Chains A and B, each alone.
Chain A
Amino acid sequence: MSYNARLIETRAMRSIVAIRFSHVTKKYRLYKNDRRRLASTFVPGVKYDEVLANNDLSFTIKRGESVAFLGHNGAGKSTALKIITGVTAPTTGTVEVHGRVSALLDLSAGFDARLTGRDNLKLRARLWGLSEPEITNLLPEIADFAEVGKYIDQPMRTYSAGMKARLGFAFASSLKPDILILDEVLSVGDRQFSQKSLARMQEIMSTEGVTLLFVTHALGSAEKFCKRALVIDHGRLQFDGPIDQGVSYYKKSTSAK
């Protein structure tokens, strides 16, 4: 597949724009089987189906905004967030990201099950670019927030789903990123922990200049945190505006189906 997209990434915090999508399209090619996919690397003309996960998507998010991405499962929200995070490449269009992105893209959150919680955190912090002393400072705070207790030195395969999610959230939210991306992370964990994470998010948002992108099906917490909503359906932008209108638009579109 040929990629014809432009990616502009800077750490320029003075830019008013944090993220800008201009006519971004992401195509996924679906082959009948692996053999055809492999063959398509070497010979042209192998048949495939095409899915447009993002279809001519354009929006601009300013620094310090908190935006909820609303839409049905498979609408293309997660794809857009993955493009912003930089783990997947858009097929066409231009993407601008200004600032460092910390993302919690799913609950297992890129932890290695065979490593201990502590080793995982150290590794992730190192990949993020923190220095050894910074990591040493940050680690107890993360472990404390995640309430994993003695499990911090146990391999992560022994963790419960809730513990993994808590550690993932604690890590992603402790990095002090310029742009924080949370993909359906508040749907797990007990009441007490979700209260705690809500408080943490409030704290992050009160920090000057942090941009928050938030995917959730919990419309209540979206309304609480975000001032703006983007409703996406079939990869296209359906609505862009204030959160209350966005939520009612989304509710209407759900009941219409």
Chain B
Amino acid sequence: MFKTLRIIIQDNWEWRSQILRLATTELRKEVHGTVLGWIWLLITPGIYLGVFWFGLAVGLRTGSPIDGVPYLVWLGAGIIPWFFISAMLSGGADVYRRYSYLVNRLRFPISAISSFYGLARLIVFLLTMILVFAIMALYRVPLTIYAVQFPVIVVVMYVFWTVWSMLTSPLSALSKDFGNLIRALSTPLFWLSGVLFQVNHLDSWWLRAFFAVNPITFFVKSIRASLCEDYWVWNEPNLIWPFVGVFFVMTLMALFIQNKLSLEVADVL
């Protein structure tokens, strides 16, 4: 187990410049040949955010400020991270099939495939956060001292979803059913997280427990905490400890799977 962890860290360190290169190439691939180029990376989340705002605030009239935070700011601070999470949740779970040439045509450490994919998504995420900061400026929501949590949360988010990718991608490579299952789960996970509504107000304890162990809820809530809801994440034991537990168990599982399957993946693709 520790040996697997050591190998993964070592591989990722040794190949760090190639990982960076692959991540930027990945982004170039997405914008290459389009007229608007990088702006496309902002347009899709922007429209999505607009549609949700329209549907919820204008259509369903639920757009009143949440604990004093303007609804659009609150929504944006949840939806934009969700874009990153959703890409990692489904796309990140199947990176070996998608980049099979890195697995069985070229010499490349397979755990680093998750790292560069995650990095590419993270760059897009940070870019789209511009939208959130712009909306915050528009509503005159100031950044406070709590914003120092933001970079830390971003790093934790990157590591968490990269580990997720290392856990699920070998299984998706072995079985298409597994990959389909993960993709199918992504929509319910969105609706059963705190992206669109406040989970503290739920009545039943088991629903609250479910949301507590849902890592999506943790990331969305802690990003809101740092940008607009203004509190320290570590002062909320109900938020942080279930997440730490989930992260720990997932890491153990990922190490088990990587140890068991990393050599086999090249043979099944």
Contacts and interface: CB of A to CB of B under 8 A. Distances in A.
B268 A37 contact: yes
B267 A28 contact: yes
Given A1-B264, A110-B106, A126-B21, A155 B175 contact: no
Contacts of A35: 175, 177
A92 interface: no
B169 to A, nearest CB: 13
Interface string A18-55: 00000000001000001101100100000000000000
Q: How many residues of B sit at the interface, in one of the four size bands?
A: 20 to 34
A96 B49 CA distance: 56
Interface string A158-178: 000000000000000000000
B171 A38 contact: yes
Interface in B10-56: 17-18, 21-22, 25, 28-29, 32-33
Contact of B174 (A37, A106, A127): A37
Interface in A81-138: 82, 85-89, 101, 105-106, 108-112, 114-116, 119, 122-124, 126-127
B105 A123 contact: no
Q: Is the interface of B mostly helix, strand, loop or mixed?
A: helix
A105 B174 CA distance: 22
B175 A127 contact: no
Contact of A37 (B28, B108, B175): B175
Contacts of A41: 171, 174, 257, 260-261
Query: Which of B104, B107, B266 is the most central at the interface, judged by chain A CB atoms within 10 Å of its CB?
Result: B107
A3 interface: yes
Given A3-B263, A126-B18, A126-B21, A116 B32 contact: yes
B97 to A, nearest CB: 12
Contact of A89 (B101, B175, B263): B263
Contacts of B260: 41
A106 B175 CA distance: 25
B102 A110 contact: yes
A87 B29 contact: no
B103 interface: yes
Interface of B: 17-18, 21-22, 25, 28-29, 32-33, 101-108, 171, 174-178, 257, 260-261, 263-264, 266-268
Given A38-B175, A88-B266, A115-B29, 17 more contacts: A1-B263, A34-B175, A37-B174, A41-B257, A87-B104, A87-B106, A87-B266, A88-B104, A88-B267, A108-B105, A111-B101, A114-B32, A123-B22, A126-B18, A127-B21, A127-B106, A127-B108
18 contacts: A34-B174, A34-B177, A38-B171, A38-B174, A41-B260, A86-B107, A87-B106, A88-B266, A88-B267, A105-B105, A111-B101, A114-B29, A115-B25, A119-B28, A122-B25, A123-B22, A126-B21, A127-B108
Interface of A: 1, 3, 28, 34-35, 37-38, 41, 82, 85-89, 101, 105-106, 108-112, 114-116, 119, 122-124, 126-127, 155
